[in-house]
Structure 1
Amino acid sequence: MNDLLAVIYFVFFAAIAGGAFALMSQNLRSSQERDSLQTPRRRSRVHPEAPQPGEEVLYVDFSRERLEQMYQQTP
């Protein structure tokens, strides 16, 4: 009985391992085909959330000297 269960186990193990390998190879093949079919998109050089020229931005200085000055100024 134990021999039969071992054979069944290894048959199912081989089926699952073969299916996993087939799925992995098919995914790799389809991703290569998709990459070769796509034309390269031209990306804009400016991020959409980047500040426009002349626009003010918030700047926080966390340098050690600046922090030490801030702590010395507090009463």
Structure 2
Amino acid sequence: MNDLLAAVYLIFFALIAGGAFALMNQNLRNSAELSSQRSGAKPRRHPEAPEPGEEVLYADFSRERLEQLYQQAQ
């Protein structure tokens, strides 16, 4: 009985390992295919990205700046 159980275990282990390898291999192939398609295309910008030259809100939370603000408040 133990030999049969070990054989069944090894068969299922090989099936799971083979399936995992197949999934990783297909994922790598698809990623390479997508990157080769995009290599000639213009990169897409995020919809909320500022246009070149546009001012953006900036908060400086450096220690020195916060200490200056604290000193001004007193």
Instruction: Classify the TM-score, shorter chain.
Output: 0.5 to 0.7
In the alignment, structure 2 segments of 5+ residues that lack a partner are: none
Query: % of aligned pairs identical?
Result: 40
Considering only aligned residues, what root-mean-square deviation do their CA atoms show, in Å? Answer: 3.5
Report SS of the residue matched to 1:41: coil
Tell me which moved more, 58-67 or 35-44. Answer: 58-67
The TM-score normalised by the length of structure 2 is 0.60
Q: Which 4+ residue blocks in structure 1 deviate beyond 6 angstroms?
A: none
In the alignment, structure 1 segments of 5+ residues that lack a partner are: none
Instruction: Show the counterpart of 1:15.
Output: 15
Q: Write the distance in 2 (CA, Å) between the matches of 1:64 and 1:6.
A: 66
The TM-score normalised by the length of structure 1 is 0.59
| Matched residue count | 73
Larger radius of gyration: 1
Q: Write the distance in 2 (CA, Å) between the matches of 1:36 and 1:25.
A: 17
